[in-house]
Amino acid sequence: MANPLKPVDVVLVGFGWTGSILAEQLTQTGLQVLALERGKFRDTVPDFATTQIQDELRYAARDGLFQDTARDTLTFRNSVDQTALPMRHLGSFLPGVGVGGAGVHWNGQLWRFLPEDFVIRSHTEQRYGKGFIPADMTIQDWGITYAELEPHYDTFDYLCGISGAAGNIQGQIQPGGNPFEGPRRRGYPLPPLKRSYPTVLFDKAAKEIGFKPFPCPAANASAAYKNTLDVQMGPCTYCGYCEWFGCGNYSKASPQTTILPVLLERKNFSLRTQCDVTRINLDSTSKRATGVTYVDQQGRQFEQPASLVICCTFAQHNALLLLLSRIGQPYDPKTNTGVVGRNYAYQITSGVDVFLDEIMNPFMGAGALGQAIDEFNGDNFDHGPEGFIGGGYIALWTTGGRPILQHQLPADAPKWGAGWKKAMAENYLKSASIATHGSVMSYRDSYLDLDPTYRDVYGDPLLRLTFDFHPNEIKMSGFLTDKAALIAQAMKPRSFHAIPRIGHYSIVPYQTTHNTGGCAMGADPRTSVVNKYLQSWDVHNVFVMGSSVFPQNAGYNPTGTVAALAYWAADAIKNHYLRSPGPLVHM
Amino acid sequence: MPRRRLYKAQKPLAAVADLSEQSRPTGCDAQKPSGVKECASLSRRSLLNAALFLPAAPLLGCSSSRESNHSEGQEPPPVFAFFTPEERAFVEAATERLIPDEEDGLGARGAGVAVFIDRQLAGSYGRAEHWYMQGPWATGVPEQGYQLKLTPAALYQTATRNVNAWCQKNHGKDFAALPGAVQDDVLHGLESGDIELTDVPAKVFFTMLWNNTVEGFLADPMYGGNRNFAGWKLIGFPGPRYNYSSEIEQYGKPYTLPTVGILGRNGTLLRKG
Amino acid sequence: MDVVHPRSLTPLITGWIALAVLICGPVSANDTGSSEVARGGYLVRAGDCEYCHTDSNGQPFAGGRAIPTPFGVIYSTNITPDATTGIGQWTSQDFYTALHTGIRRGGSHLYPAFPYPWFTKISRADVDAIKAYLDTLAPIKQSNKSAELPWPLSWRGAMFVWNTLYFDEGEYKIDTTQSAQWNRGAYLVQGVAHCGACHTPDNWLGGTKHSEALEGGNAGMHWAAPGLGSNLRDGVGGWSAAEIVEYLKTGANAKSASAGPMTDVVMNSTQYLSDADLDAIALYLKDRPHAAHETPPQTHDLGAAALARGQALFTDNCTACHNPDGRGVPKVFPPLTGSASIQANNAGTVIHVVLAGSKMAAPSSLPTGLSMPGFGWKLDDREIADVVNYARHAWGNRAPLVDAETVAAVRKDIEPSDRPSRDGASTTHPDAPVNRGNL
């Protein structure tokens, strides 16, 4: 059986962005904090070294830095009447594994959600009436406001050295920024990245139409930066290997480049890698966690006692851990009761490929080097005539021109043979792509539960994902795609074609790693797993981080909100929970 | 940021416009180390053709040390680690049709795509080491992705056998011995699923073959394909360079530094591991 | 259990750092009680005693670290107050004699790997303070190991001969023509900080060439310690006093960044020195004379072909951080232009760094510990010689030329270069190049 270990104050399950933030914040109080990470230790040198990281086959095509599906995967089906089958290798999304988590291989596209995003149900009902929300759409308010999160968004901006142009400083609209964003207390710490040619063309085209384009906020440093922990970053060199890669020259914000140099030196912090946490353990009342059980690299099982357990795993894995540990009532779509696994959501994306006369040099880029418009995100426009809820941004990103997975060809190009080859030669250097990045609402039939058939390496059930795009999202995405095509046309290309998102959601092609929900936050324990402080309603010394707490997904990349919520929760733990451990919200 | 991972299904059409000036490949490689004087396409092709009739062993006189990078001399023929002669002949012939060498020699054959696929199948990818390979097995719907019990290596073995059997039955010869136009018809049949193979779904195999062919054409040459940067030079990708700070704002200007790989400007070196 | 704490260096001795106080003048005799212990602790830091006297993963100050010398391996000794294996029975006079003359309790000679040729300069009061501090450590029973030296060096009496030839005994003498601050700097540099142990050249018997004090020396394992004179090319002549202080405090400034043993020195020693002492050291170093060096070869001696090869390798491998113009990013990625380390007559440091990579110091004031990867797995000896020669001759740099044999000699002696950690214990980089057909 499990070998008991010396108790710690806090055990963090998973050591990506949220684990690193919580550890840095809670070790400040003197607590003994232990992080358990399923993957290996990784650092800029040697793991992401400039000598070897720019290897598209190893890291992108062969998933070098991501979750190993041989050990842990999930099963998937589009609807409850199908039999879920295992995701046998990664495709649609790419959870991280190892120190830094997905914070190592992200692009660095750092957004804040809109103030209305946090109150979407009440706002929508107020503006459009209760009947505007489809009956099977289970969206809910977050139980927190943008104003409450703003200081924490700001903390993360200055930790990461975000490059960008502010659009709204304390209510004052700033020229050149995103005029639709919520008010921020101050501008970004660094100016925007240098502009690539396609982003300049997008900017011009969007302005001609009457939109207000702006440089996308980037966690790729536009200049050398020393952050709020005195950790240094180097300037981005536009090498075009951000997403799916680690950064070799310290210019993409990650736990390694912003927090770990300071955190790993703290004597009250320790990290154990290659440890799979299999359970959160509860006392006999099931109201209090006593610690976690984990299995180390050699297969030895340990019981780690802790006063506080914080789930910091990748998105849907938090729901799996709660289900396996029997914390909270599992969601049942038939009766629409229970909470754990409820409100899984995702992102809906589409694109417009653009082929131009001039050389674009697509290989020069950065993960968050983009120009965007936000006219059609959130509730920035009147949804009444459109008949759908949600929205997204439209952006031209130049993240890189990695040849295997990032080449674009005109719609009429042959799929293979001499024609394909000629089309590749003719178009690779002269193409760009406009992306739409849309919200996904939550629905009664989109959820996570335990698979009845398939097991992981420990014999535990795999998580089962039941998800499909709904008409609301398909309609919204089509609306965004049409707007993107307008901009594409104004770029005066040789040709362009839209790649709309149609049909069923498929686990196969990569879309985004923006999985959300399963442990929704909220003000009502009947529809949420955690309260506004990300504390379990059922077991007060368990907190849950990450996008798993999003009740539905907004039209932006989630990392900014994930990090802000982590700082928000850390603040509540430090200033309220530690003083009197117990439920922070009483019903 | 989302990027498509799958290659879109598009109907093949007639060849499009001529190669642009900027991306037109040259026959001789100006960036080759001084020790290598061959005109790339011709000698590469003749070497590879010769290799077909030689035993799979290094040529005599070729040093086993890396120092020979800097010495004069011809490259040894590729050593195949996985394919049987039948599988190799099929993959070489099929990939040659998928990305033909044509006049420029910059196709799958010249790029060594079959060498790449062979090495991939011999390694962890071929063994599906990082794939979830536990049953029960079911077909599912396309949205649920790959559901075969076969590893990539096993899929190639089975499919090669099946395709050759189909070709023998319908054309009296193995795939590799058929005329190019017939080979194209067979490949279209596999792609659409119109050809039914005995043991495996043709479309699933074709997707894997095509994806691996593109990988072998456009991955770093240290993996065995994209030899002498054939694929990268065709499209104008300069390789993994790490600093475009002063070039990114030079709008519309061609990038001029020579092609480089992870192991440097010698596009014939392989990685050891 | 896999407890990863990758950056833990020498365990901190807590408490006394905060007590470290400004010390005025090379000699001060008015210390009593705990202030003497605090001052001793500070001097122990300044002398970086702990580094040599602690085995890797060993108990602090219990000795046992192997010190490689050109003549064989010497092991550091236990200087905890253990009565039998440490220096618990040593009197203050015993301790002073050892530091001052290189003769230890019992009368046998110490090898000059123990830097008594510098420690002889330390005042009696400061030596007593060091002893007082060491006496406060927990005694650790750990026997000393014998040195592994060939005869006649294995005969400690040989050190008598060596001392006669190369050792000048005597405490630091105040230079009355200079300021107190200058004298304080000279006292620290020449004495307890023993900078010359690395930064002054040795003769073939390991004797210090005092006539070339601080003109650049050998820090072991092919680490070249650059000259600390006012030379612009290969010294710190181009550094302001403030930049010297910043470097010693943090391991980096706008002109350079620490590597190899100097990273350890910053981490264990100089980051803890008071601002007043660092200012004094900087003042003294800024006053060092220009060292007479031969004019290095001009760029045309390298040859256009080698220069072009080197430039290509530099472009392909180095510009991600150091930029095409070699200027790097100030205080992040060190500039190579005008760098003393790059242009040092002895190219050991730059070869070592290119082969095996390097990590900057990561003191709490500058905690990142920026690292450079090693290139030894992907570049062969001639390629490394080419890129090093390029860096030593581009942008107006000048330095003696390096050949592949020099690189091979360094490669033979140092640790294998870095590799992606997913490959575990393998010492061969998975991407290490081979020719086709040689698999």
ipTM of the complex: 0.96
Chains contacting chain B through 3 or more C-beta pairs under 8 A:
A, C
Domain, as residue range, for C401:
299-418
**Confidence band of C21 (pLDDT split at 50, 70, 90):** very low
**Confidence band of B75 (pLDDT split at 50, 70, 90):** low
DSSP secondary structure string, C215-284?
S-EE-STTPEEPP-SS-TTTSSTTS-HHHHHHHHHHSB-SS-B--HHHHHHHHHTGGGS-HHHHHHHHHH
Q: Tell me which of B36 and A128 has the higher pLDDT.
A: A128
Query: Of the given ranges (A204-213, C291-300, C318-327), which has the lowest mean pLDDT?
Result: C291-300
CB C406 within 8 A of CB C385: yes
Q: What count of Cα atoms within 13 Å lies in the side-chain half-sphere of residue A176?
A: 9
Q: How far apart are CA A560 and CA C206, in angstroms?
A: 59
Q: How far apart are CA B208 and CA B163, in angstroms?
A: 15
Q: Which two tokens stand for residue A470?
A: 């709904």
Sequence-ordered alpha helix ranges (H) in A254-353: 255-258, 260-263, 316-325
**Confidence band of B55 (pLDDT split at 50, 70, 90):** very low
- A31 to chain C nearest CA, in Å? 17
Decide if B76 and C382 are in contact by the 8 Å CB cutoff.
Answer: no
Per-residue pLDDT, averaged over A561-587, amounts to: 97
Q: How far apart are CA A574 and CA A569, in angstroms?
A: 9
**Minimum-distance CB partner of C434 among B59, B78, B270:** B270
Question: In this structure, are strands A74-77 and A85-86 parallel, antiparallel, or unpaired?
Answer: antiparallel
Nearest CA in chain A to B8: A415
From C105, C140, C175, give the residue that closes a domain: C140
**Minimum-distance CB partner of C433 among B57, B260, B263:** B263
Per-residue pLDDT, averaged over A545-553, amounts to: 98
**Minimum-distance CB partner of B240 among A54, A61, A107:** A54
* Amino acid B10: pLDDT: 33
Contacts of B258 in chain C (CB under 8 A): 312
**Tens-digit pLDDT profile for residues B226-253:** 999 999 999 999 999 999 999 999 999 9
**Tens-digit pLDDT profile for residues A141-180:** 999 999 999 999 999 999 999 999 999 999 999 999 999 9
Per-residue pLDDT, averaged over C246-269, amounts to: 94
One of A514, A540, A576, A586 is an active-site residue; which one? A514
Q: How far apart are CA B165 and CA B172, in angstroms?
A: 9
* Amino acid B58: pLDDT: 35
**Confidence band of C57 (pLDDT split at 50, 70, 90):** confident
**Tens-digit pLDDT profile for residues C388-429:** 999 999 999 999 999 999 999 999 888 654 443 333 444 567
Of the residues A369, A404, A433, A491, the best mutation for testing chain B's interface (the one with the most B CB atoms within 10 Å of its CB) is: A404
- A118 to chain B nearest CA, in Å? 23
Decide if C316 and B260 are in contact by the 8 Å CB cutoff.
Answer: yes
Q: Which two tokens stand for residue A230?
A: 């005195």
3-state helix, strand, coil in chain A (%, to 5): 25, 20, 55
* Amino acid A1: pLDDT: 57
Residue C393 lies in a domain: yes
**Minimum-distance CB partner of B241 among A52, A239, A423:** A239
Burial class (CB in 10 A: 0-12, 13-18, 19+), A526: exposed
Inform me whether the C-beta atom of residue C330 falls under 8 Å from chain A C-beta atoms.
Answer: yes
pTM of the model: 0.90
Q: Let me know if A586 is a catalytic residue.
A: no
- Per-chain mean pLDDT for chain C: 84
CB C230 within 8 A of CB C286: yes
Q: What is the DSSP letter of A177?
A: S
Contacts of B20 in chain A (CB under 8 A): 425-426, 429-430
* Amino acid C153: pLDDT: 62
Per-residue pLDDT, averaged over B35-56, amounts to: 35
- Per-chain mean pLDDT for chain A: 97
Residue C385 has pLDDT above 90, yes or no: yes
* Amino acid C112: pLDDT: 74
* Amino acid B159: pLDDT: 98
Question: In this structure, are strands A172-173 and A348-355 parallel, antiparallel, or unpaired?
Answer: unpaired
Per-residue pLDDT, averaged over A308-326, amounts to: 97
* CATH no., domain A3-164+173-577: 3.50.50.60
**Tens-digit pLDDT profile for residues A385-429:** 999 999 999 999 999 999 999 999 999 999 999 999 999 999 999
CB C95 within 8 A of CB C87: yes
Per-residue pLDDT, averaged over C146-169, amounts to: 70
**Tens-digit pLDDT profile for residues B214-228:** 999 999 999 999 999
Residue C432 has pLDDT above 90, yes or no: no
- A308 to chain C nearest CA, in Å? 20
**Tens-digit pLDDT profile for residues A479-523:** 999 999 999 999 999 999 999 999 999 999 999 999 999 999 999
- Cα angle vertex B90, ends B149, B113, to 5°? 90
Q: Which two tokens stand for residue C148?
A: 């592994």
Residue B213 has pLDDT above 70, yes or no: yes
Reference C126, options C263, C273, C27; nearest CA is: C27
Nearest CA in chain A to B246: A237
Residue C186 lies in a domain: no
Q: How far apart are CA A484 and CA A496, in angstroms?
A: 11
Q: What is the DSSP letter of A441?
A: -
- C380 to chain B nearest CA, in Å? 8
Contacts of A422 in chain B (CB under 8 A): 15-19
What distances in angstroms separate CA A358 from CA A351, A517, B183, one per listed residue?
A: 21, 43, 37
Give the max Cα distance, chain C: 76
Q: What count of Cα atoms within 13 Å lies in the side-chain half-sphere of residue C284?
A: 23
Q: How far apart are CA A332 and CA A342, in angstroms?
A: 8
Inform me whether the C-beta atom of residue C5 falls under 8 Å from chain A C-beta atoms.
Answer: yes
Q: Calculate what percentage of chain C has a pLDDT beyond 70.
A: 83
CB A171 within 8 A of CB A177: no
**Tens-digit pLDDT profile for residues A426-478:** 999 999 999 999 999 999 999 999 999 999 999 999 999 999 999 999 999 99
**Confidence band of B53 (pLDDT split at 50, 70, 90):** very low
Residue B76 has pLDDT above 50, yes or no: yes
Per-residue pLDDT, averaged over A47-56, amounts to: 96
Q: What count of Cα atoms within 13 Å lies in the side-chain half-sphere of residue A18?
A: 31
How many structural domains compose chain C?
A: 2
Contacts of A73 in chain B (CB under 8 A): 132
Q: Calculate what percentage of chain A has a pLDDT beyond 90.
A: 99
Question: In this structure, are strands A33-36 and A269-272 parallel, antiparallel, or unpaired?
Answer: parallel
Per-residue pLDDT, averaged over A525-545, amounts to: 98
Residue A575 neighbours by CB distance under 10 Å: 10
* Amino acid B91: pLDDT: 98
Q: How far apart are CA B231 and CA B99, in angstroms?
A: 10
Residue extents of the structural domains in chain A: 3-164+173-577
Residue B62 has pLDDT above 80, yes or no: no
* Amino acid C145: pLDDT: 85
**Confidence band of C155 (pLDDT split at 50, 70, 90):** low
Residue C238 lies in a domain: no
Burial class (CB in 10 A: 0-12, 13-18, 19+), C116: buried
Reference A61, options A400, A557, A510; nearest CA is: A510
**Tens-digit pLDDT profile for residues C23-36:** 334 444 344 456 99
Q: What count of Cα atoms within 13 Å lies in the side-chain half-sphere of residue C434?
A: 21
Reduced to 3 states (helix: H, G, I; strand: E, B; else coil), residue A223 is coil
Residue C74 neighbours by CB distance under 10 Å: 23
Q: How far apart are CA A405 and CA A241, in angstroms?
A: 12
* Amino acid C37: pLDDT: 95
Residue C249 has pLDDT above 80, yes or no: yes
* Amino acid C108: pLDDT: 81
Q: What is the DSSP letter of A340?
A: B
Decide if B271 and C430 are in contact by the 8 Å CB cutoff.
Answer: yes
Q: How far apart are CA C93 and CA A309, in angstroms?
A: 57
**A397 phi/psi in degrees, rounded to 5:** -95, 140
* Amino acid C419: pLDDT: 43
Strand partners, A66: A96
Q: How far apart are CA A430 and CA B253, in angstroms?
A: 11
* Amino acid C437: pLDDT: 53
- C431 to chain B nearest CA, in Å? 4
Residue entry with tokens 């990708």? B237
Reference A155, options A526, A466, A436, A565; nearest CA is: A565
Query: Of the given ranges (A270-279, B1-10, B105-114), which has the lowest mean pLDDT?
Result: B1-10
Q: What's the per-residue H, E or C state across chain B? A: CCCCCCCCCCCCCCCCCCCCCCCCCCCCCCCCCCCCCCCHHHHHHHHHHHHHCCCCCCCCCCCCCHHHHHCCCCCCCCCCCCCCHHHHHHHHHHHHHHCCCCCCCCCHHHHCHHHHHHHHHHCCCCCCCCCCCCCCCCCCCHHHCCCCCCCHHHHHHHHHHHHHHHHHHHHCCCHHHCCHHHHHHHHHHHHHCCCCCCCCCHHHHHHHHHHHHHHHHHCCHHHCCCHHHHHHHHHCCCCCCCCCCCCCCCCCCCCCCCCCECCECCCCCEECC
Per-residue pLDDT, averaged over A325-341, amounts to: 97
Q: How far apart are CA B128 and CA B216, in angstroms?
A: 18
Q: How far apart are CA A340 and CA C323, in angstroms?
A: 51
Per-residue pLDDT, averaged over C203-209, amounts to: 66
Residue B185 has pLDDT above 90, yes or no: yes
* Amino acid C104: pLDDT: 85
Q: How far apart are CA A418 and CA B100, in angstroms?
A: 6
DSSP secondary structure string, C284-297?
HHHTPPPP--PPPP
Per-residue pLDDT, averaged over B86-93, amounts to: 98
Question: In this structure, are strands A461-466 and A74-77 parallel, antiparallel, or unpaired?
Answer: parallel
Q: What count of Cα atoms within 13 Å lies in the side-chain half-sphere of residue A586?
A: 3
* Amino acid A268: pLDDT: 98
Reference A559, options A323, A218, A249; nearest CA is: A218
Decide if B270 and C433 are in contact by the 8 Å CB cutoff.
Answer: yes
CB B195 within 8 A of CB B186: yes
Nearest CA in chain A to C323: A237
Per-residue pLDDT, averaged over A324-333, amounts to: 98
* Amino acid A241: pLDDT: 98
Inform me whether the C-beta atom of residue C405 falls under 8 Å from chain B C-beta atoms.
Answer: no
